[in-house]
Structure 1
């Protein structure tokens, strides 16, 4: 199965780019005293004085900037209050529904800081610091930066889509204090060089904006441990204030976010989830239902720009093709598509008055299209939070829009694939810890580094790459074993375009590269790590030389094979007891996450099938106990019909002994019951791919069974029960 997590989850491309900007780490901040004490004390005093003021002049400044720089006449709901708090020096958590205007809550202050500095004479205008925006969404970052640049606001983004030239230009702007806003993914904070460059920005980090902040909380619907590193970074980088933003935070999640950054309760700003223009409909689809015919009827009845959400990437293609055959202007969209094609699809949708996009959750985040008339959940979302976020993309213009939810037991199979597929077996966790605590690694001293390819490690220990990244973050944050220190490439090759330029380069690094290069038909290969060891030259000098040739047009350079670098924080465990203890804690944590994700989906089904108003239930789930949402909204399936949506009663079948034996005959594995259960259920894994279980004839042969039942039966076969 293809993954549905269409986030920027890699380490980005910082590895060798950082080598070119190594001098940034040697810069000095000039706006603080040597130890930072007096400056911090004065800053706190200014913040306290401002927060105690009832009529902040910063409210006037924010409104002026809104009109002059953003061409908007006024703030909405809690925007002004949140922005005023931030400009007064406080930190905030902003929980607004999708389309509620969260971005302005950090964009307006980012522009205001220079005006504040001019008025107070605290800093020179050229060194007013930067607002750092952490976001996992590449498309959102790019769109926001483009829009800000059009308004004359200096903004930049650093992610995997940025060219080297643009990267270097952005670093130059950072060093010179020319940026108002800098956007990056949370994973970039794993780079020691990048963090060092941020710590030395002239004027400092005036504000840290954390988008999709629910990812900080383990109770959030898309918890990402890398987000926990943001709070650590905020302290280490002496960030002045923090603003955390999300569209989906229950009371517990909002509390977790506040605690992570020590934000008091008065720093929480929340607006209602209730949208009176959204008609929330749901229909049950028992086995044998012609789903596509129902969808066609719905789309004919409710025309206009539409997003149809499905779970699997391949289903976006097949369903969009079927809709085109029936006369609809439909397009697929998912993270596995070519980047240019995805961009064209998104741009066409923004301009269209009738286009239908069949998409995974990759589509819709950060898209500013006010006239989306339909949201259709063709498959079950994973949680109430996801459902709420996705329907929030409809009807931002305030006009009536329809959100249809199709409910079928078949969709639980897909949901279970992602839920159960994410949890590795005990065998996999033991293999992982054995690799990390190898004799070679145990010889390392605190402060020394080791490198590993998470891509290859995922295959070796049979843990998918996303989950492996989560486990590494837990080993860093919870167990304190090591700290992510960036990435490097292990393979360099180049095609010569200007041989004379290379010949004329007489630097020591150039001479070493030319001696060690191995020429093939087109590409010349350079083993950089080996060359560094044999020549005694610094690896960064060798990489910098290759990059310089590439920039000057002398070669076409390709870098491959990302290696993650980790710096030891304490000696690695040496006893089996300590290693087993870590394995157990990891397994317990993953088990709890598995159960929590199952409960999330169940909570969504309970909401849709309960004899109650959908809108009221959504508001209650997110902690709205006041009168912002009516007891009966009058525009959901329950309010319109007072008829319950009933989940079809199609329980899983017990494991068939004949099919169980066929799996055991085809797959010669007796050391991992979870692996065998995944094969039978239809869950792909690195080990299964290596064994080509897809061609075994038994893959997905028992997908009508409960996964727990399969675990039990294969556990007996493996002697685990």
Structure 2
């Protein structure tokens, strides 16, 4: 290998040497091999695709779910004279067109997109006409079905990369156990010798675990902030409303604190993020949505007000502290009662056996080729959209279905010039085609709606030609075009011998995932109460063996383990249950299954509960402080409701 990587590193990034693992990954890529990089947060994963993008001839496509990461990295790359852009939901129509123009012209070196961008048929068509030298997948642990944040969209990225004729792939993550890394490499066809893992251990991070109770926690957090010197701080919480409440409490006590969560609009989130990046003492009270991709090296404190849902999440979140190499403190206020909320999320995602059965009967009653709306499918079978998408992915992986290119059921456009002026730019058959197409759009106030399927049937024209025409008119600033109602195409490759047997198999699979997610939470509790160095135990989870660190709670407390107060024993109020049984008799079709009753009483929404407007009922969430499993068992043991 020549000195090209070193020259590019100094010329564009201003560094004299690579961080551990970076050069090895880059050399694999420049030699034409796919690679994987498992580096801790702050370990320099992004350079592993940014530098090759300068050396490779085509476009480097970076797939990431993190809009904040996209924005920050693009700003930094632009400042270095590197042509990079992003396509995400924050772009308006004009911004989207500008990026696509630069992409088609070959000007861009890097393009950042979210996984969902591949649902856009226009984008996939454009990609097929480009040379994709590198297809980089950030947060690659999402590929692994047994990883801590499995996303079915990620499994399909392999197919998209092949369709785009990507010349090499790169998987990047900070949180992959050895088993998950093996899974990633198998899915992406990365050789074991091209998977590079660097040390997880960070000697500048002090890891503390403080037992507390619901009543004591606010006092404990305020005491820590008051007794320690000020510095940029993140306080992680589980729920959006908790972020608002805790931020207000801290602000009322005189601390510069602001909330951040996914329920805020993007503009408000951006304001908080930019304020925090500039601040020397700002405190952000945030859900896990905050911090991913944030370029701030001097975070001095990370507090976990609530338990993290897994060791992977915990490692990623504390990894945002002390990236400048200076000392930082990461403290978890460990309260066993947090298990209720975290367990509710897990149980809420597990479909009922009846829901899976009705879902499969619906799918295999379709014609050989069909298209569906995920939102409609979700409502019909009382499945969250993510769960419905996951089930469809399983059916693809098991050879029952083959997914096609998603498409939009309808397009809307707003003319930027008169129709006659648009048509005057064309002649002959093209003019006639466009005139007929524009006539088929129905006008609302300022927008026109076009049913593409109807236009295809009535005009006897290929769908691709109609979509391409709308895309072209949008690019030429003759129309402002938007699309809606994404539908997913499938072809049935084979039908199961027994739908019932397949439903049972998928339900068992869902229960195993549920057990796996609940076990992750128990791993967090085991780390807190470990009778041994907690840093060494956390490192071992990620495949790294270490001696006692000297700067965790166990080491600093002379080898005495932390003990968390037991979860409060909360009884089910008989009066509440009597009211619940009355409601079950009123809604037997919705509140029949014990799992749905438990969701309702524990405050976990579902499509069927929302459709029946039961999430507005006074009983919704009344037993949120009772373990989900106890509520579900009580519902199972109760006499079934009668109409």
Same fold (TM over 0.5): yes
Q: Partner residue of 2:227?
A: 301
Residues 67 and 517 of structure 1, relative CA distance in 2, 3 Å threshold: closer
- Aligned counterparts of 1:85 and 1:503: Cα–Cα separation in 2: 52
Corresponding position: 1:403 with 2:330: yes
Aligned to 1:534: 458
What are the superposed Cα offsets for residues 136-180 of structure 1, whole Å, 9 maximum, x if unpaired? 212212222222222222223233333444444544444454432
Deviations 1:207-238 (A, max 9, x none): 22221111122221111222222334444544
Q: What is the Cα deviation at residue 517 of structure 1?
A: 4.8
Q: Is the 8 A contact 1:309 1:358 kept in 2?
A: yes
Change (3 A) 1:585 1:197: farther
Q: Where does residue 16 of structure 1 map in the other structure?
A: none
1:587 aligns with 507
Residue number in structure 1 paired with 2:578? 661
CA distances 1:576-622 after superposition (whole Å, capped 9, x unpaired): x5322332222122111111010001001100111222211111111
Measure the CA separation in 2 of the matches of 1:531 and 1:499.
Answer: 18
Where does residue 49 of structure 2 map in the other structure? 106
State how 1:81-160 maps to structure 2 within 5 Å: 81-113=24-56, 128-160=57-89
Render the CA deviation track for 1:280-305: whole Å, top value 9, x for unaligned.
1111112532x222211111223111
Aligned to 1:697, which of 603, 618, 625? Answer: 618
1:473 aligned partner: 393
Q: Does 1:568 align with 2:485?
A: no
Residues 528 and 505 of structure 1, relative CA distance in 2, 3 Å threshold: farther
CA distance, structure 1, for counterparts of residue 385 and residue 401 of structure 2? 20
Which deviates the most, 510-519 or 484-493? 510-519
* 582-591 or 231-240, larger mean C-alpha shift: 231-240
Q: Deviations over 1:26-59 (max 9, x none)?
A: xxxxxxxxxxxxxxxxxxxxxxxxxxxxxx32xx
2: CA distance, partners of 1:697 / 1:521: 40
Counterpart in 2 of 1:180? 109
Superposed displacement of residue 665, structure 1: 0.7
| Mapped partners of 1:386, 1:621: distance in 2 | 13
Closer, same or farther: CA 375–73 of 1 in aligned 2, 3 Å: same
Q: CA deviation at 1:79?
A: 1.6
Question: Per-residue CA shift, 1:55-96, capped at 9, x if unaligned?
Answer: x32xx2111110011111211222222222322333322111
For 1:587 and 1:570, locate their aligned partners in 2 and report how far apart those are by CA, in whole Å. 22
Mapped partners of 2:461, 2:563: distance in 1: 70
Q: 1:495 to 1:458 in 2, by over 3 A?
A: farther
Find the aligned partners of 2:566 and 2:175 in 1 and give their Cα distance: 31
What corresponds to 1:637 in structure 2?
A: 553
Question: Which of the numbers 405, 413, 418 marks the counterpart of 2:345?
Answer: 418
Q: Does 1:380 align with 2:307?
A: yes
Q: Secondary structure of 2:377's partner?
A: helix
Is the 2:207–2:329 contact (alpha carbons within 8 Å) kept by the matching residues of 1?
yes
Structure 1 residue 250, shift from structure 2 partner: 1.1
Q: Larger deviation: 655-664 or 551-560?
A: 551-560
Q: Which has the larger displacement, 363-372 or 295-304?
A: 295-304
Q: 1:505 to 1:193 in 2, by over 3 A?
A: closer
CA distance in 1, matches of 2:281, 2:104: 46
Note the alpha carbon deviations across 1:425-480, whole angstroms, 9 max, x for none.
Answer: 12221232233233xx22x3xxx4x3322123222221112222222222222344
Superposition pairs for residues 461-500 of structure 1, below 5 Å?
A: 461-490=381-410, 492=412, 494=414, 498=418
Q: 1:317: which partner in 2?
A: 244
* Aligned counterparts, 1:211-222, within 5 A: 211-222=138-149
Cα distance in structure 2, aligned partners of 1:539 and 1:484: 14
Deviates more, 1:68-77 or 1:254-263: 254-263
Q: How far apart are the structure 1 equivalents of 2:499 and 2:264?
A: 41
Please list every run of 5 or more consecutive structure 1 residues that lacks an aligned counterpart in the other structure. 1-55, 114-127
Instruction: Confirm or deny that 1:679 pairs with 2:600.
Output: yes
SS in 1 for 2:489: strand
Distance 1:236 1:532, change over 3 A: closer
- Contact map agreement 1:509 1:541 (CA 8 A) in 2: no
Out of 229-238 and 310-319, give the one that drifted further.
Answer: 229-238
Contact 2:536 2:547 (8 Å CA) reproduced? yes
What CA distance in whole angstroms lies between the structure 2 residues aligned with 1:177 and 1:287? Answer: 56
- Tell me the SS of whatever aligns to 1:485: coil
Q: How does 1:19-418 map to 2 (within 5 A)?
A: 56-57=1-2, 60-113=3-56, 128-190=57-119, 194-201=123-130, 204-289=131-216, 291-302=217-228, 303-418=230-345
- Residues 309, 156 of structure 1: CA spacing in aligned structure 2 closer, same or farther, 3 A cutoff? same
Equivalents in 1 of 2:463, 2:24: separation in Å? Answer: 51
Gaps of 5+ in 2: none
Cα 1:138–1:675, aligned 2, differ >3 Å: closer, same or farther? same
The more displaced of 505-514 and 103-112 is 505-514
2:211 and 2:334 in contact (8 A); partners too? yes
Q: Label 1:351 to 1:719 Cα distance change in 2 as closer, same or farther (>3 A).
A: same
- How many Å separate the matches in 2 of 1:650 and 1:400? 33
Partners of 1:157 and 1:184 within 8 A in 2: yes
Instruction: Find the partner of 1:437 among 357, 364, 383.
Output: 364
- The alignment partner of 1:488 has SS state of strand
Aligned residues of 1:492 and 1:528 also touching (Cα < 8 A): no
User: What's the CA shift for 1:719?
Assistant: 5.7
Q: CA deviation at 1:197?
A: 3.8
Q: Which residue of 2 aligns with 1:45?
A: none
Distance 1:695 1:210 in 2: 40
Q: Any conservation in 2 of the 1:666–1:698 contact (CA below 8 Å)?
A: no
Task: Output the aligned Cα RMSD.
Answer: 2.8
Change (3 A) 1:604 1:318: same
Matches within 5 A, 1:497-576: 498=418, 501=421, 507-512=431-436, 515-520=439-444, 524-539=448-463, 559-560=483-484, 562-572=485-495
**Alignment partners' CA distance in 1, 2:598 and 2:17:** 57
Partner residue, 1:622: 542
Q: Secondary structure at the match of 2:208?
A: strand
**What count of residue pairs does the alignment treat as equivalent?**
631
Equivalent residue of 2:329, what SS? strand
Alpha-carbon distance in 2 for matches of 1:255, 1:579: 32
Paired position in structure 2 for 1:599: 519
Q: Distance in 1 between matches of 2:284 and 2:146?
A: 30
Query: Aligned to 1:323, what secondary structure does the other structure show?
Result: helix
